[in-house]
Amino acid sequence: MSRRSGACLRCCLVIFAVVSALAVCGPAIYWRFKKTMRLSDSKASSCPPCACDCPPPLSLLKIAPGLANLSVTDCGSSDPELKKEMEKQFVDLLTEELKLQEAVALEHAHHVNITFGEAKRVATQYQKEAEKCIAATETCEGSRERAEALLRRERKITALWERRARQVGWEGE
């Protein structure tokens, strides 16, 4: 039974894959085929060449003439902070990056320490509450045991008095 269902599932997946491929590629193939058919038909009935009176495309220099004058060497030369950064040596940049990473690590460690201290404080508070609860439970359990002992004693005394009363002639309720 499972072999049949596996074969059926495999067959369904293959059919789904073929249908999906046709759905994705079908329109493109159709339009290409249609265009090819149109071109072959148009060659048989040749049409005169098109006469366009279109202006030439605009060049980038005509659109934005200032772009051609920019060069990489003068990039940021007017900004003193950028110029100072660009003059730094690679080692200085690495040292600065390490210092930044160290500052982030110290801040993270500080945050972890604060969180850990808070967790310890809350755990201690829960421990105290648990100890109070245990002590209250022990007190209640002791009181319940004493009450049960008193109840047993009262029942014994009641049974004794009832027995004596029946001996004297009391018939009870």
Give the burial string for 108-144 (b: 16+ CB within 10 Å, else e).
eeeeeeeeeeeeeeeeeeeeeeeeeeeeeeeeeeeee
Domain locations along the chain:
92-173
Q: Indicate the average pLDDT of the chain.
A: 83
Residue 108: band (very low, low, confident or very high) from pLDDT cuts 50, 70, 90: very high
Residue showing tokens 């491929």: 21
Residue 75: band (very low, low, confident or very high) from pLDDT cuts 50, 70, 90: low
DSSP letter for each residue of 23-74: HHHHHHHHHHHHHHHHHHHHHHS--PPP---PPPPPPHHHH-GGGGG--STT
Full-model pTM: 0.36
pLDDT reading at 92 higher than 80: yes
- Report, as an integer, the average pLDDT of 103-130: 95
- Report, as an integer, the average pLDDT of 39-68: 64
110's enclosing H/E stretch is helix 90-168
Give the per-residue pLDDT at 125.
95
In the structure encoding, which two tokens stand for residue 156, read together?
């014994």
Sign, CA torsion 4/10/12/18: negative
- Report, as an integer, the average pLDDT of 129-148: 95
- Helix, coil or strand: residue 169: coil
pLDDT reading at 45 higher than 90: no
Distances (CA, A) of 143 to 25, 130, 131, 137, 139: 85, 20, 18, 10, 6
